[in-house]
Structure 1
């Protein structure tokens, strides 16, 4: 019996999580995420604990437990003029920060500088802060999949999942994206998402990001599938956050919001016999329930 059948679906069922990353990044990100959940067909999201707008999104998560959410474990900050750093005191995780005490912009910098010990300390602190706040996450995932910067960090990531008895996002495509060999780093018996889809800059640049999402839905294969999006508004706040960074910038995030709140696009799920599932559903499989 495969994972799909364990959830009560037929062997060839097409299951899909539509997941909004980066909640907590900004007020704009939070408002768009909330609207995507309540009025669109996004059915999962994850929260960045180190970010300034964590509190707002965490309060929403506590007050709206019907929506599935996880912790978006964060080790990098890619923005030019908008910065954040670790939850832990900088003095306790010095290898994770630049000369100003902020997370590095790129995975490569993290790979060169960070120690597994500091990575473990910080990831654990982020989960503990969320739980202390009263959150009950269904899973753990990773901002920029920075936990895949190094195989040692990925091992720590999996250990954090085990410690808190939560599934972590493990997927072949994401590992390949960050330069890890899935054949070496995915172990037998680990819970794996079959297919993960995330927009590429070439589609945005060509004005075809919506077509990319449409194509995924129309050609989805059987198994457990995940679409990762970043809904926000193309407003002054997000323009400031993403200045000089069109890749996953404010315009891109507005497109994500518009596509996944469209009734026409939502109807495509039914047309293509796609069933939405959540991380909470998948957790039941993992625990054998």
Structure 2
């Protein structure tokens, strides 16, 4: 005959042990979530501190300076929106806006298009593709100033390599420094040489994730090379295109080193962009308040273009 089993007692009394009180479960769940939140904030804290110190504080400080009249010496005088009113009436500022917009409109699609074309070629069975990849990626290891100095060696009117080659074949020299359109074209060409490798690298990584079965199925259906590129490659690298569009636009709005070293914004403001014009006002004429106002406008323009592209892009979340 089975003997009855005595109930288990707890350490604090003779009450039978049982399942934990149901009323304690929500409390323990809240404590667990609180602990996870604290741990997450602990990991995020160093980045948040750096973000506040090196992004938020400088932005707020620049906004405050843009509301002052300064001469580089002593304390600025609060003038409200006077600097922004000056911007609206400044012809050189609007010339810089036009140049920056044109530079962005040229560099962004050309760098992305050339990068995608190079990535497609180097993703296939191209002979010595490793060498070509290295040659295209090599400019990424060079700073913007060094790139611009190389550009000066190539496009110098007196001793440049390019004009020397043109003279050798009987063609006239091109005024790369003294002619406005030619100077602007030289800046664009040097920038493309510098940026195509980065675009190619991102596109090449995106192409690695496109399944070969998609191309095989399209080939069996009779699609030619252009149709496979148009209807498979381009849509499948949509997220990479969205990323590169944002990065190229931001870089183009913030370009400084290439323009400053190659042309200094000349001739006659033909290559002046917003950052070089802000530099001129902030460090040459010592009008920091006006330069800060240019920087704030540049930030707002960049945010506006990025927001519009974010809202209108249909490929940023495309996956295979």
Q: TM-score range by the shorter chain?
A: under 0.3
TM-score, normalised via structure 1 length? 0.27
TM-score, normalised via structure 2 length? 0.25
More helix by share: 2
More strand by share: 1
The structure having more radius of gyration, on CA atoms, is: 2
